Amino acid sequence: EWSWRLEWVTCLAVAPDGDRAVTWSRAYLGDDAKGPDWLEVWDLAGRRHVGRVGVPRSPAPVAVLSPDGKTLVTWGEGRGRAGSLRSWDPVTGRSEGSEVPYDGLGGMVHGPGRDPHVVFVAPRARNELIALDYRTGQQVRTVALGRADALTRPVFSPDGTR
């Protein structure tokens, strides 16, 4: 039997090949949150926990794995600090660069395209999807969605055509 103990999981990212997953979790003791949040790496194929790294607590974290499964991109914000993007090696848990400030994110996804460093973000309360280089925070492209309400959780079809 395969089992693992997780605390409160606030975000889940699964590699496209289905062999690896990353969770963003936190421990709760009674009604009070204690300690840091955790990025937990799971080997789904081998059915084992690989490791974890402490990260600043965030009320609404977002995490996505790159199409090749080699980079994890996270976004989080905390009390009194603006949101930021960070990239990680999902095997070692090591950060692959500095934090890139980016405030007000509602959702994020790796999308179709040739550049593995581009994620598509849906800013909170804005009716657009932005292609963003997560290493620099530079906008590559902005797409107005023409919807009456804001997009919060963008997704693409597996083949990237929709």
Mind listing the pLDDT tens digit for each residue in 110-121? 776 667 788 888
Regarding beta strands 81-88 and 8-14, do their DSSP bridges make them parallel or antiparallel, or are they unpaired?
A: unpaired
Confidence at residue 78, expressed as pLDDT on a 0 to 100 scale: 62
- CA–CA separation, 77 and 81 (whole Å): 6
Average pLDDT score over residue span 139-158: 74
Helix H, strand E, coil C: the string for 77-96 is: EECCEEEEEEEECCCCCCEC
Cα–Cα nearest to 39, from 96, 79, 118: 96
Among residues of the chain, what percentage have pLDDT more than 90?
1
| 56 band by pLDDT with thresholds 50, 70 and 90 | confident
Residue 155 pLDDT > 50: yes
Q: Give the tokens for residue 40.
A: 């937990």
| 1 band by pLDDT with thresholds 50, 70 and 90 | very low
Confidence at residue 41, expressed as pLDDT on a 0 to 100 scale: 85
Listed in sequence order, the residues at least 6 apart from 73 whose beta carbon sits closer than 8 Å to its beta carbon are 63, 64, 65, 66, 85, 86, 87, 88, 108, 110, 119, 134
Average pLDDT score over residue span 18-34: 70
Residue 32 pLDDT > 80: no
Average pLDDT score over residue span 101-128: 76
